[in-house]
Amino acid sequence: MEKPQSKPLGELELIDRIRRGSNRARNPSVALGIGDDCAILRPAAGYEILVTTDFSLEGRHFRRDRHPPESVGHRCLARGLSDLAAMGATPLAAFLSLALPSAMLSRRRGLDWVDRFFAGLHHLGDLHNVPLAGGDTSESPSDLILADIVLIGSAPRGRSLRRSGARPGDALYVTGSLGGAAAELASLFTRRKPNPPVANLADHPHLFPEPRLAVGQTLLRRRIATAAIDVSDGISTDLTHLCQASKLRAEIDQTALPIHPLAKQLTPEQALKAALHGGEDYELLFAAPPAARVPRSVGGVPITRIGTLQRPGSKKPIITLAHPDGTRTAIQPGGWEHFSASRKTVR
């Protein structure tokens, strides 16, 4: 067998750089972070571990000419954190496998991209106490940047919020607002000039989405939600997942949908489409019994009741939208469909 090649200098330098620049976030459950063969995690007694992984692939999830490197790092972590939020978990640590084109491992401009990528990732990690506790680094076999992040979280044993626990009669809620990410994404791609620098992260739902960790943890702690999911693929798709897992159907009230200000700048029809089918809002969609005391907001994030869940009927669509004029239409899943050639994507 061929002897495996030892790591090229660029890779070793990069790992050293990652270690030196690793974030300030500390988590008492991380007994050992970057630097040894493995990290050591020590979850509190009575808690169980939740794990989620997400790809961030150049040309599929981001484009180097449209997304600032800070946004790529932020989104990479945010996607995993949103999955933990949807289960009501508390994040413990992140692990990142990163493949970089050879030019980026040696040239100064390449390292500038990497430093800015990590600045974005660490900024979000610091906000939520999520240390980067390890990973792997390699030269990419192509000219593309490929990242895969693993997020580890914990939750009191047996208490995580699943997609499958909703019951007939439960009310349906969503956090924050919908359609903002799709509206911003469209504007990123129509603008001819390079996109202006980002001043306030909160104004950029696509570039800098905010994972709803505090809401998820509150729903779990106060035993409010019977089921939850994060809106990564669009509410029509993710609500279908929740309905299928819970064996229910949903009715949404169109007038109740909280539309993001960026989506409101579109035509009303486009705004509704962005709210229902636009992906990557990273809001939480959850069910709660009608008598549950659901807060109006958690940590400044509004929570809006948008509909109800009912027993499925053989002829009834999984999702119905009730319009202001009293008519109803069936809503088909129209969000992000993985591996579908026709879907809109960041190319």
Q: Give residues in contact with ligand ADP (CB under 6 A).
A: 15, 18, 34-37, 96, 98, 132, 134-137
Distances (CA, A) of 51 to 140, 225, 238, 333: 25, 21, 19, 26
CA distance 180 to 280: 9
Q: Segment near Mg ion (CB under 5 A), from 37-45, 151-159, 228-236, 286-294?
A: 37-45
For residue 56, the surrounding DSSP H or E stretch is strand 47-57
Residue among 150, 302, 155 at smallest CA distance from 215: 302
Query: Cβ 110 to ligand ADP, closest distance in Å?
Result: 15
- For the CB of residue 15, give the shortest distance to ligand ADP in the complex, in Å: 5
Name which of Mg ion, ligand ADP, none residue 172 binds, using a CB cut-off of 5 to 8 Å depending on partner kind: none
- Asked if 227 and 327 touch (Cβ cutoff 8 Å), the reply is no
- The nearest distance, CB 91 to ligand ADP, in angstroms, is 15
Compute the radius of gyration of the chain from its Cα atoms.
Answer: 21
Q: Please state the closest distance from residue 3 (CB atom) to ligand ADP, in A.
A: 15
Select from ligand ADP, Mg ion, none the partner in contact with residue 96, using the beta carbon and a kind-dependent cut-off of 5 to 8 Å.
ligand ADP
The site partner of 180 among ligand ADP, Mg ion, none (C-beta below 5 to 8 Å per kind) is none
Strand order in the sheet with 146-156: 47-57, 146-156, 90-100, 132-139
Q: Which partner from the list ligand ADP, Mg ion, none does 234 bind, CB cut-off 5 to 8 Å by kind?
A: none
Q: Cα(291)–Cα(314) distance, rounded to whole angstroms?
A: 28
Name which of ligand ADP, Mg ion, none residue 80 binds, using a CB cut-off of 5 to 8 Å depending on partner kind: none
The partner in contact with residue 224, picked from Mg ion, ligand ADP, none with C-beta cut-offs of 5 to 8 angstroms by kind, is none
Q: Are 178 and 271 in contact (CB under 8 A)?
A: no
Smallest gap from residue 106 Cβ to ligand ADP (A) = 17
Residue 19 DSSP label = H
Q: Which residue, 344, 342, 333, is CA-closest to 238?
A: 333
Tell whether residue 36 is a contact of Mg ion (CB under 5 A): no
# residues contacting Mg ion (CB under 5 A): 1
By beta-carbon proximity to ligand ADP, the closer residue of 23 and 226 is 23
Least distance to Mg ion, CB of residue 36, Å? 8
Which window, 33-41, 53-61, 261-269, 272-280, contacts Mg ion (CB under 5 A)? 33-41
Contact partner, 98, from ligand ADP, Mg ion, none, Cβ < 5-8 Å per class: ligand ADP
Please identify, using beta-carbon distances, which residue of 17 and 264 lies nearer to ligand ADP: 17
Nearer to ligand ADP, 98 or 174 (CB): 98
Residue 221: half-sphere exposure toward Cβ, Cα within 13 Å: 12
Which of 92, 71, 234 is closest to 145 using CA atoms? 71
- The minimum distance between CB 61 and ligand ADP, in angstroms, equals 17
As to burial, measured by CB atoms within 10 angstroms (0-12 exposed, 13-18 middle, 19+ buried), residue 109 is: exposed
| Residue found under tokens 């009191």 | 156
Question: What's the start-to-end Cα distance of the chain, in Å?
Answer: 39
Nearer to ligand ADP, 112 or 136 (CB): 136
> ∠127-128-132 over CA atoms, to 5°?
100
Among 20, 24, 37, 290, binds Mg ion (CB under 5 A): 37
Q: How far is the CB of 31 from ligand ADP (least distance, A)?
A: 13
Q: Which does 248 bind (CB under 5 to 8 A by kind): ligand ADP, Mg ion, none?
A: none
Q: Which is nearer to Mg ion, 93 or 285 (CB)?
A: 93
Binding site for Mg ion (CB under 5 A): 37
